[in-house]
Amino acid sequence: PDPKYEDARRETRRLSQEMWMYMDSQLKRLISQNVETDTKYIKDILAFGSHLHTAILLAHDTLEDEFEKWRNLRSNENPLNCSTADMFVCKLDTACGFGCQMHHVTYCLMVAYATNRTMVLVSKGWRYSKAGWDIVFRPLSKTCHENHPDVIKRMGNLTRLQIVDLNTGYHNPLALPDVLQTCIQHFHGHPRPWWVGQFVRYILRPNHNLEESLKNKEKRFTFDHPIVGIQVRRTDKLHSEASFHSLQEYMIHVKRWFDVAETKTPIVQRKVYLATDDPSLFTEAEHTYPTYSFIGDVNISISAQLSSRYTLESLKGVITDVHFLSMCDYIVCTLSSGVCRLAYEIMQTRHADASSRVKSLDDLYYFIGGAPEKWISIYNHEAQNEDEFSFNAGDTIHNYGNHWDGYSKGKHLRSGNEGLFPSYKVKNFF
């Protein structure tokens, strides 16, 4: 919504009321003074004016209150009556890691939001903690949660969604409501993670105990700014899903960020928050980069290794890492990791525009099951060899990924050709 439009909309109402109050009082005064006027004539004007005023207010009410849609963002989660509310059930039983599970919950909440339903999360028996969601987070709904008698009674008849549905095209998680799209574009460089971030931040609200523990850790780590976060994903991720990236590759970007930051303000100590599932990195980092101060908790990374992963301790560990990464000024990571995508999404809720506060060593931002983002070419391109394809300015391209060497790989939608193209010739298209 355009704030100027909203202001004008409210002003039209106020001013039409002011005009009417003025006319009404002045004309009545004329009648009461009984000056040489035609009283009947004035009364007719008043009746006419009163009717016209009502008509203006009615017409005004049909002008849409654009902000209403923003204010209602979460209203479906707390219906007054659980026995009649439209509900949507999601089970937290997906056999994947924390990032992947939280994105599943995000997707469920988005579908519930888009279909005007209350999402009920069934979390008992969660692989990270059998006790369920509330062990670390605040309940998604204060009124209609999984333990509410009305919810238990209706459970058998409620619509459910499993993660496999992500691929059925039922609802694209990266599709923004039209009304928000244009507005977000005004202030944000990448509206989709911004949009996802609003849901993720709401979902991952820590409960009281976790909140206290995060505050204590903030003090213990002496977490302060400026600070860059790195998330180095190792162990099982390297078996088939992602490539190995050395600590040096991350640190090149950390150094670059501090070099630029230092031109603006003197920096006494270069601080790096280290999140990883490989505990050996803490020693490696301290030995190789003695001029940097690495903060974080090696015990978190011990509990994050695949062999000890699905425990309450590791759950609290990964939440801690996501929390502190999201609070950093800049993150260097592999966006192929759901942990980093979560941190990046939450980061969008902490600044007006944090779209460029991440450097990925591999993938561009994506959401599991989301349609590939469309990019638009801003220059013509003539293929230089058979690996490339040609296009004209204004063409649409599916960007499969940036190779971080000046070139990206993608598909030219009009011709169906796939291949490489210079990254600078296309830009994200919202």
Contact residues: ligand GDP, CB under 6 A: 96-100, 231, 233, 237, 275-277, 300, 304, 309, 314, 317-318, 321, 337-339
Write out the two tokens for 342: 């979560």
Question: Rounded to the nearest whole angstrom, what is the least distance from the CB of residue 339 to ligand GDP in the complex?
Answer: 4
Residue with tokens 């501090």: 258
Select 188 or 217, whichever has its Cβ closest to ligand GDP.
217
Q: What residue ranges in 106-242 does DSSP mark as E strands? A: 118-122, 159-161, 227-232
10 Å CB burial of residue 74 (0-12, 13-18, 19+) is middle
CB-wise, 66 or 363, nearer to ligand GDP? 363
- Nearer to ligand GDP among residue 95 and residue 352 (C-beta): 95
| β-strand pairing of 330-333 with 87-91 | unpaired
The answer to whether residues 154 and 83 touch, using CB atoms and an 8 Å cutoff, is yes
**Smallest gap from residue 102 Cβ to ligand GDP (A):** 8
- Minimum CB–partner distance for residue 145 and ligand GDP (Å): 24
Nearer to ligand GDP, 82 or 304 (CB): 304
| Cβ(179)–Cβ(66) below 8 Å | yes
Q: Is 67 exposed, middle or buried (0-12, 13-18, 19+ CB in 10 A)?
A: middle
Q: Which residue is nearest to ligand GDP (CB)?
A: 97
> Strand pairing partners for 88?
119, 159
Q: What's the closest the beta carbon of residue 306 comes to ligand GDP, in angstroms?
A: 7
- As measured in angstroms, the least distance from the Cβ of 101 to ligand GDP is 7
* Strand bridging mode 330-333 / 227-232: parallel
Shorter beta-carbon distance to ligand GDP: residue 314 or 408: 314
Nearest CB to ligand GDP, comparing residues 97 and 139: 97
In the complex with ligand GDP, the residue whose CB is nearer, 31 or 368, is: 368
Cβ neighbours for 315, distance < 8 A, ≥ 6 positions apart: 98, 128, 129, 136
C-alpha distances in Å from residue 64, one per residue of 69, 131, 368, 370 = 10, 45, 34, 30
Shortest separation between residue 230's beta carbon and ligand GDP, angstroms:
9
Least CB distance to ligand GDP at residue 213 (A) = 14
